[in-house]
Structure 1
Amino acid sequence: MRKRPRLAGTAVLSLLAVLVSMLVAAQPASAAVGLRVSGTKIVEANGSGFVMRGASHPHVWYASQTTSSLAGIKALGANTVRVVLSGGRWPANSATDVANVVAQCKANKLICVLENHDTTGYGEQDGAYTLDAAVNYWISVKSALTGQENYVVINIGNEPYGNNNVSGWTQATSSAIAKMRSNGFQHLLMVDAPNWGQDWTFTMRDNAASVLSADSQRNTVFSIHMYGVFDTAAEINAYFTAFQTAGLPLVVGEFGNMHSDGDPDEDTIMAQAQSRGLGYIGWSWSGNGGGVEYLDMTNNFNASSLTSWGTRIFNGANGIAQTSKQATIYTGGGTPDTTAPTTPGTPAASGVTSSGVTLSWTASTDSGGSGLAGYNVYREQGTTDPQMGQSTTNSVTLTGLSASTQYQVYVRARDGAGNLSGNSSLVTFTTTAGGGGGSGGCSVAATTQTQWSNGYVVQPVTVTNTGTSAITGWTVTFTLPSGHTITGSWNATLSGGPSVTARNAGHNGALAPNASTSFGFQGSRPNGDTQVPSGYACTAS
């Protein structure tokens, strides 16, 4: 069976990772039933991270080989098998047949990715089904899938568009996901890219955030198929980085060591997937035809007779045998991850405007097994901490803030199991006045760097010229809590208390437009007091 026709044209992948402004919120641990997305990762129901390592088996054409094939795939170290099914483009696999496939996956302790092959090359290849028709097939076999959410991933449709009319992919995929959810499917869903899975038009890459938002459970992982389009390390890294920068989950749902459309760089695909914690599934166990027989991993479905491609993917560097870890659902449920990630570094504020700010901090680490999923950004407000935003990298840009308003913000890291770190030290900043700036405009952002039982250090207190003309000096005012005193300062002259005035030193008063400087101070407070200074405001001269 030929895997795909040759691509119609040369596909050149941009080397620049796309910047996606939408931050995708990871679901809480109770949001999905079994396997689920957590940030950029996949985790099991107990919060343990799961990284796919496996091969595809063409069950729809070689059902008689399925029993031995799944056993062989497992024996060579895989934790996942991707099983090819059909709803009618080829002889349809019934609910009974699907239930048997799932049972065999479980017997071999493999996570079962079930894919509907009917959609392959839609718009370019005669006979291809729509994604909506693929969903109808899943509905027809739902009885075999309900209750299997810990073991089964549903790959809605294989390579659902060829190279024609790929702009339709976004809406068709979003609608398919919504239809799956409205029909009660609780599973982790997988969606393939257009362009025969290779996304050389970047349609999936650039629209993945909006597609994920169409999933009421936010439990969809994106699948890129890497063949001749991905023949350089730069192209592979750029694609991986784009998804990770955007905080979106990605797996390599198919790849090979060669192809008619070019020579994929399988070494980089596997090495980078391993270093980044991304899953990969190779194509395919055996049975290829139509000129792509070189994609067989075994000779005649025999696990003891590996081809060069089979030897590479199973036994080579960063291969399945070396990197695969069995799902904990098959080892008594695993030990839940209760280890919190480390506290992120103190946030620093930059780019303060009348309505926004960028915060950045030193990244956290996680040793609990679920992997660092991202960060929650909070603002103190009375006795509650309403969430202001989320980030999957160690920075976030907050928008929609009020002008001339002080904010106190801290950041917590969260891992794939939903564990939160302790609070970071506070960053305090005041947004600028609205209406733009001329000469005389400045903003201030203060970071409480260190605290102890009866004191603290605030630095940097960053002053920025927000006007369009140079300033010659600046004054910062803030308020000390009751019982607090200033015990030292640098790069500014401080006076007063509890209302404190800080004036620039001789060397740092002159600031060009958009230029910044900083100062710092040390304070004392009564034992047990946890308050810090507040009410920072800036005036330029």
Structure 2
Amino acid sequence: MRRRLATAAGALLAMAASLLAAPPAAQADTPTAPRAAAGFHVRDGRLLDANGEDFVLRGVNHAHAWYPARTPQALKDIKALGANSVRVVLATGDRWTKTGTADVASIVAQCRQNRLVCVLEAHDTTGYGEQAGAVPLSRAVDYWVSVADALRGQEKYVVVNLGNEPHGNSGYEAWTADTRNAVARMRASGFGHTLMVDAPNWGQDWSHTMRDNAAQVFAADPDRNTVFSVHMYGVYDTAAEVNDYLNRFISQRLPIVVGEFGDAHSDGDPDENAIMAAARQLGVGYLGWSWSGNGGGVEYLDMATGFDASRLTGWGNRVFHGPDGIRETAREASVFGSGPGENPAGGCAVDYRISDWGDWFNADVTVRNTGTAAVEGWRLEFAFTGEQRVHSVWNARATQEGRQVRAVNESWNATIPAGGTVSFGFNGSSAGANGVPSSFSLNGAACAGS
């Protein structure tokens, strides 16, 4: 089996870093009966949300630690493109500037406003044992304890990814004991969240260390609420390798996700089509790497050029819009209320009015909830009748693909009361006739037109 040198996330390690003092020893775990979960939890090998509904991660990674000012818009754009989750890179302070408690709380709040499940990961562990300056999982646990105030009460919305790629290709044999100890310390410190643990070998587990020891790590979690994450790059360049690895977990009824993957890499050409197809067929979550800002020679893994959602790269278009992609397969967590594919509590009607000036026009759109219960979070979809293009938008966020348009709520107008309305508008250009769309859908359910 080929030995992985560094993943896409690891390539960002070329940024400035410093190694702090040696970490304290990890505490041993003492398995007890699982406590009742307050939020996400694992049952029979599946990740369930706080309502007991099956939840399959469909999202991307965002490098907040290096681009914190980009996070608010990035989360909005990622949601508008259809994702139900986002994996956010945080820093423990050992290698990069610490993502502090207030910052973590802000990220969680923004995820919730955008109806995204937050997978928060500590990045300073990347390649421990091989990468200079990387720190062990025990330091990651110290970090999570230090920001615990930002995470208490967020178990319905947050998954804690203990440490990114916590072992390189040296010393990876320690992964099992290190991971067990880290999980035990998190539980002893009061964390009731679903915990996600990354594989060794820069996340790719070519040694099958995680695959062959996942059952004992899961059993050692007092809450039985651990999810395993593999990063699929060059090691997974055939459908056979992808399916074999994922099915080993499925057959053991152990929860597995693809926490990172790409469409190309310096260590080989991963089979992204096989990864996404297998994920759909098996009901396995995936989180593509990454939204934007890649460096260190893996700039080709940017999904959006310069953090601009209107300039998706080929990889970005593939993961969001391609077969088995995010737009096609993502389903919003039920904890956010009415979501994609759910009826908006009885019905809806849309009034679409145009002010036309030839090549340019304004459209004013009013959505009425004709049902008997409030709609919490909305997504209106329609198709233009001709060659119209959306430009500026107000009171909503919109994306366009061909003639198809999707508009989603802002944080301040997410609720449509029973019998109530919400309005937004946009400025657009047109070539030729400019008519009213023939049909509309709200959260996947057909609406009456104007």
Higher relative contact order (CA 8 A, sep 6+): 2
Once the two structures are superposed, residues 324-367 of structure 1 have per-residue CA deviations (whole angstroms, 9 ceiling, x without a partner) of 00111111699xxxxxxxxxxxxxxxxxxxxxxxxxxxxxxxxx
User: 1:403 aligns to what?
Assistant: none
- Once the two structures are TM-superposed, the CA of residue 304 in structure 1 deviates from its matched residue by 1.1
User: 1:236 aligns to what?
Assistant: 242
| Structure 2: stretches of 5+ with no match in the other structure | 1-6, 13-32, 341-450
Taking the TM superposition and a 5 Å limit, the aligned residue runs for 1:16-415 are 31-88=36-93, 89-331=95-337
Q: Which has the higher strand share?
A: 1
User: 1:514 aligns to what?
Assistant: none
- Compared CA separation, residues 2 and 237, structure 1 to 2 (3 A): closer
Letter in 1 for 2:79: K
- Once the two structures are TM-superposed, the CA of residue 3 in structure 1 deviates from its matched residue by 2.9
User: 1:480 aligns to what?
Assistant: none
* Matches of 1:226 and 1:192, distance apart in 2: 11
Q: So what's the TM-score if we normalise by structure 2?
A: 0.68
* Matches of 1:31 and 1:333, distance apart in 2: 26
User: 2:421 aligns to what?
Assistant: none
Once the two structures are superposed, residues 36-94 of structure 1 have per-residue CA deviations (whole angstroms, 9 ceiling, x without a partner) of 11122110111111000000000000001000000000000000000000011100011
Once the two structures are superposed, residues 187-228 of structure 1 have per-residue CA deviations (whole angstroms, 9 ceiling, x without a partner) of 000000000000000000000001111110000000000000
* Matches of 1:97 and 1:46, distance apart in 2: 28
| Structure 1: stretches of 5+ with no match in the other structure | 7-26, 335-541
Letter in 1 for 2:248: A
User: 1:490 aligns to what?
Assistant: none
* Matches of 1:333 and 1:134, distance apart in 2: 34
* Matches of 2:194 and 2:48, distance apart in 1: 10
Q: RMSD in angstroms over aligned alpha carbons?
A: 1.9
- Compared CA separation, residues 5 and 107, structure 1 to 2 (3 A): closer
* Matches of 1:62 and 1:191, distance apart in 2: 24
* Matches of 2:224 and 2:193, distance apart in 1: 11
Task: Work out which of the two has the higher radius of gyration on C-alpha atoms and give 1 or 2.
Answer: 1
SS of 1:317's partner is coil
Number of aligned pairs?
314
User: Which 4+ runs in 1 deviate beyond 2 A?
Assistant: 1-6
- Once the two structures are TM-superposed, the CA of residue 2 in structure 1 deviates from its matched residue by 6.3
SS of 1:119's partner is coil
SS of 1:31's partner is coil
* Matches of 1:247 and 1:255, distance apart in 2: 22
Q: Is the 8 A contact 2:11 2:298 kept in 1?
A: no
Q: Is the 8 A contact 2:8 2:265 kept in 1?
A: no
Once the two structures are superposed, residues 244-283 of structure 1 have per-residue CA deviations (whole angstroms, 9 ceiling, x without a partner) of 1111110000000000000000001000100100000000
Letter in 1 for 2:38: V
Q: So what's the TM-score if we normalise by structure 1?
A: 0.57
Letter in 2 for 1:221: V
- Once the two structures are TM-superposed, the CA of residue 314 in structure 1 deviates from its matched residue by 0.1
SS of 1:306's partner is coil
Q: Is the 8 A contact 1:198 1:225 kept in 2?
A: yes
Q: Which has the higher helix share?
A: 2
Q: Is the 8 A contact 2:331 2:339 kept in 1?
A: no
- Once the two structures are TM-superposed, the CA of residue 165 in structure 1 deviates from its matched residue by 1.1
